Amino acid sequence: MKELIQGAYDLHVHSAPDVLPRKLDDLEMGRRIAAAGMGGYCIKSHYFCTGERAELLRAVQPDCDFLGSLVLNSTVGGLNPAAVELAARSGAKLIWMPTCDSAYEREHIFGDSRPEKLPFWANIILELEQNQIQNPTIRLLEEGALRQEVLEILDELDGRITLHDFRMVRGRERGRCWSWRSSSTKTAPAWSWISLMNCTIPSPARRL
Q: Where are the domains of the chain?
A: 2-206
Confidence of residue 172 (pLDDT cuts 50, 70, 90): low
| 134 Cα distance to chain centroid | 22
**What length is written for the chain?**
208
Interval 7-57: pLDDT, tens = 999 999 999 999 999 999 999 999 999 999 999 999 999 999 999 999 999
Instruction: Give me the pLDDT at residue 190, please.
Output: 29
Q: How much is the average pLDDT of 100-110?
A: 93
Instruction: Give me the pLDDT at residue 116, please.
Output: 87
CA distances from 75 to 70, 119, 123, 166, 191 (A): 11, 18, 15, 21, 28
Radius of gyration of the chain (CA): 17
Global pTM value: 0.79
Instruction: Give me the pLDDT at residue 168, please.
Output: 56
Higher pLDDT, 203 or 11: 11
Task: Please check the confidence at residue 78 and state whether its pLDDT lies above 90.
Answer: yes
- Phi, psi angles (nearest 5°) of residue 143: 55, 40
